[in-house]
Structure 1
C-alpha cells in the first residue's frame, strides 16, 4: 500500500510537471517558427517576390488551411453569421491583414528581420493607446497599475524611436560561415540583403503596421462578444483578405510574371507562413491561452527578437549595432511594464478568480490587449 501510494504520488507529480512544461515548450517552438518565417520571408522578397503578392498567397493558403478547423470544430456551435458580423470581419481583414501584413512585409523588405521583430514588440503599447482613445481602457494615473501602463507605453515608444533613427557603431560578433552556404544559394539576388535597408522607410512602415494591427484588436474585442467562433472568423477574414490583397497587388504589380512562384524559396515562404504562422500557430496559442492564460502567452514575444537576431546573423549575415540593442532593450522593458500594469489592474478589479488558480498562475488576466485570436496575421 505504501509503495502504491508513493507510486501514485510520483505519477501525479510527474503529470503536473508535464502539464507545466508542455505550454512552455509549445510557446518556445512557436517563437522559433515565427523566427523562421522572418528569415524565409526576407529571403523570398530578396529573390524578387513582391510583398503584396506574398501576402495574397499567404492568405489564400491560410484560408485553405483554417477551413477544416472552422468546418469540423464549429459546425454545430457557430452563431448565426449576420451582415453586422460580416462587416466587422471585413474591417478586421482591412486592418489586421491588408494593413498589418501589407505594411509589415513592405517594411521588412526595406529593413531587416531583427528591426522588424523588435518593432513588433511595440504592439501592446500602441494597442493600449488606441484602447484608451476608444474607451476600452482607462489611464488610472492615480494607481500604480495605471502608472506602470503609461510609463511602459512611453518607454516602448521611446525604444522604437531610438531603434528607428539611431544606429550607432556596429557590435563586433564576428561573421557566420553559414550565410554563403545557405542564404545566398536560396536567393536569386546575389547582393547582400543589407544593401536594401532603408533606415527611415522600413521602420516607419513597420510602425504603421503595428498601428493597423492595434486597430484590429479594438474591432476584434467587440466582434468576439457577439460572434464567438474564432476559427470561422479567421477563415472568413483570410478569405476576404485574399481578395483585398489580390486587388491591391494587381494595382501595385502589373507584371504577370511577378505572380509566379517560380522558385523554391517563394513557394516555401508562402506555404510556411500560411500553415505554420497562421493555421498551426492559432491552434497552439489558443491551447496555451486556455491552459495558462493570455499574459503567459504574450510574455514570450521578446524571445522572438532574440531568436530572429541569432538566425539573421547566422543566415543573412545581418550586422548588429548599438541602436538595435538599446532600442530593443527599451521596447522589451516597456512591454513588461505594460503587461505588469495590466496584470495588477486585472487583479485589483477582480478579473481573476483567485480561488480557481494556483499561486504560480497569478499573472493571467483575460486582457483585451492580448486577445485570444491575434495569431493568424502576426508578422
Structure 2
C-alpha cells in the first residue's frame, strides 16, 4: 500500500520545491540577475549533485550507454532543460510568479494531447476512465485560466504574521519595473510545450534505459553546455556572472539542487512507474502552493478567482488521477488473465502430449 502512495508523495515534494524556486528566482532576477545566467548555473549545480548518485547507486545496474541512448538523452536535455527552463525563466522575468504558475497548468492538457499520437496515452472516451481524464484535464485548465484572468472580490482571511521583509523590500525597490503582458505569458506557454515534449521523450527513454540518475546526470551535463553557450551569447559581462550577492547564490544553488537535480530524478522515477500524464497532472498543485506561500510570506491578497480556480484544479487533478489509476488497474487485470490463459494452455498441451508420445506408442495411448 505504501508503494502506491510513493509516486504521489514524490511529486508533491517536487511541486513544493518548484514553489520555492519560483519565489526565490523571481527575487534574484528582480535584483538584476540575467535569467540565462541563472539557468546556466542551475544546470551546473544540478550536474554536480546528481553525478555521485548516478555513480554509486547505478554503477552495477546501469545498462550499456549506446549512441542511440545518448541521442535520446541529448533530445531530452534540449526540451526538458534548455528550452523549457530558458523560456520559463525569461517569461517569469516579464510576469509574476502567480501568472507563470497559472499558465504552467496548461502542461497536463498539452501533455495529454501530445501523448495520444505516440500511443503513450489513450483517450477511451467510451469508458469512465477516459471520460474522467478528459473532464479532469478540462477542469484543471479551466481553473488555471480562471485564476489568470478573473480576479473577483477580495476574500478577507486576515493578515499573515510571518511576512518576509526582504522580499517586501525587494518588491518595493523594483516596483517601477513593468511586466510585458504579452511576451511573458507567451514564453511560459512555450516552456509548457517544451516540457510536454520532454515527458514524451523521457517516457520512451525510460523503457530502454532504466537508470534515471545516470540519464538525469547526462541530461543536466549536456544542458549545462547548451545553457552556458546561450548565456554567454546574451550576457558577455563577466561581472554579471558573479554570485557574490546572497540572493543570486541561494537562487542558483536552490534551482540546481532542488529544481533540477531532485526534481528530474523524482520525475524520471515517477514517469518510469506511472507514465508522463500522471507526473504532469501534479503541476496544478504548484499554483495552489505559490498562492498560499505568497499570502503567508509576501502579503499577497486572496481573491474569489484564486479560491474557485484552486478548487477546480484540485478536483480536476483527482479526476484525472482516478481515471489513470482505473485504466492501469484494467490493464493489469487483462494482463493477468492473458498470463493465466497462457499457463493453462501450456499445461493442457503437456498433459495431451505425454500420453500420446511416451514410448512412441501413439495409437494405443492416444485412446
Using the alignment, how far apart are the partners of 2:165 and 2:86 within structure 1? 30
Q: Deviations over 1:148-205 (max 9, x none)?
A: 22222223333333333333444444555654623245x4971349x64444433332
How many residue pairs get matched? 336
Superposed displacement of residue 350, structure 1: 1.8
1:125–1:338 CA contact under 8 A, matched in 2: no
1:126–1:153 CA contact under 8 A, matched in 2: no
Correspondence 1:224-373 to 2 at 5 A = 224-281=206-263, 302-350=284-332
1:165–1:199 CA contact under 8 A, matched in 2: no
Assess, with a 3 A threshold, how the Cα gap between structure 1 residues 55 and 229 changes in structure 2: closer, same or farther: same
Using the alignment, how far apart are the partners of 1:142 and 1:41 within structure 2? 44
Assess, with a 3 A threshold, how the Cα gap between structure 1 residues 122 and 135 changes in structure 2: closer, same or farther: same
2:288–2:310 CA contact under 8 A, matched in 1: no
Superposed displacement of residue 32, structure 1: 3.7
Assess, with a 3 A threshold, how the Cα gap between structure 1 residues 200 and 155 changes in structure 2: closer, same or farther: farther
Using the alignment, how far apart are the partners of 2:6 and 2:141 within structure 1? 33
1:169–1:321 CA contact under 8 A, matched in 2: yes
2:285–2:314 CA contact under 8 A, matched in 1: no
2:139–2:313 CA contact under 8 A, matched in 1: yes
Q: Deviations over 1:119-139 (max 9, x none)?
A: 434433321111113232222
Using the alignment, how far apart are the partners of 2:274 and 2:28 within structure 1? 35
Greater alpha carbon shift after TM alignment, 154-163 vs 263-272: 154-163
Asked if residue 218 in structure 1 is aligned to residue 194 in structure 2, the reply is: no
TM-score by length of 2: 0.78
Using the alignment, how far apart are the partners of 1:202 and 1:344 within structure 2? 38
Q: Deviations over 1:53-99 (max 9, x none)?
A: 11110000000000011111122222222221111111101110112
Match of 2:59 in 1: 75
Using the alignment, how far apart are the partners of 2:76 and 2:268 within structure 1? 19
Partner of 2:332, secondary structure, is coil
> Unpaired segments of 5 or more residues in structure 1?
1-15, 356-379
Superposed displacement of residue 329, structure 1: 3.1
Using the alignment, how far apart are the partners of 1:82 and 1:289 within structure 2? 21
Higher-Rg structure is 2
Match of 2:89 in 1: 105
Superposed displacement of residue 101, structure 1: 1.3
Asked if residue 48 in structure 1 is aligned to residue 32 in structure 2, the reply is: yes
Match of 2:173 in 1: 190
TM-score by length of 1: 0.75
Correspondence 1:133-144 to 2 at 5 A = 133-144=117-128
Match of 1:89 in 2: 73
Partner of 1:167, secondary structure, is coil
Using the alignment, how far apart are the partners of 1:29 and 1:149 within structure 2? 23
Match of 2:111 in 1: 127
> Unpaired segments of 5 or more residues in structure 2?
338-367
Q: Deviations over 1:248-301 (max 9, x none)?
A: 2223334333222231000011111212333344566788899x9779987765
Partner of 1:140, secondary structure, is coil
Using the alignment, how far apart are the partners of 2:37 and 2:172 within structure 1? 18
Using the alignment, how far apart are the partners of 1:21 and 1:350 within structure 2? 18
1:125–1:335 CA contact under 8 A, matched in 2: no
2:21–2:255 CA contact under 8 A, matched in 1: yes
Assess, with a 3 A threshold, how the Cα gap between structure 1 residues 315 and 109 changes in structure 2: closer, same or farther: farther
Match of 1:365 in 2: none
